[in-house]
Amino acid sequence: MLVELEKDNLQEIVAEHKNVIVQYSATWCGNCRIMKPKFKKESAANEDITFVLADAEKFPESRKLAQVDNLPTFARFSSGEFKNQVQTNKYDVLKELVHEASSN
């Protein structure tokens, strides 16, 4: 499932789903735009994980959940808890994070 945040409610989504991966991005971020279709591809291939697109500038409370200080950042949550994050523009690194979530 792919969700695009429309309000600053990531905490609710994380609490409601077992495995969540978030792409934190911003409209000005070129690497974020490059990674977005790859993120969407992973969401289509992994239906047991909830994928969330979050604008890090619009949603500061959601950003705080993963201590985001660089973009793009991909964060993994499991059973309502923050597990880890990666700051990357490399597809292989994103796939590793998805693999961690799917084997959880």
Model pTM score: 0.95
Active site residue 32: yes
End-to-end CA distance of the chain: 17
Marked catalytic residue, from 21, 29, 65, 97? 29
H helices of the chain, in order, are: 10-16, 30-45, 60-64, 91-102
Provide the 8-state DSSP code for 70. Answer: S
Marked catalytic residue, from 14, 20, 22, 32? 32
Distance (Å, rounded) from C-alpha 71 to C-alpha 92? Answer: 17
Neighbours of 40 (CB within 10 A): 14
Share in percent of the chain as helix, strand, coil (round to 5): 40, 30, 35
**pLDDT per residue over 89-103, tens digit each?**
999 999 999 999 988
54-75 mean pLDDT: 95
Active site residue 100: no
Instruction: Give the pLDDT band of residue 72 (cuts 50, 70, 90).
Output: very high
Ordered domains of the chain (ranges, CATH):
2-102 (3.40.30.10)
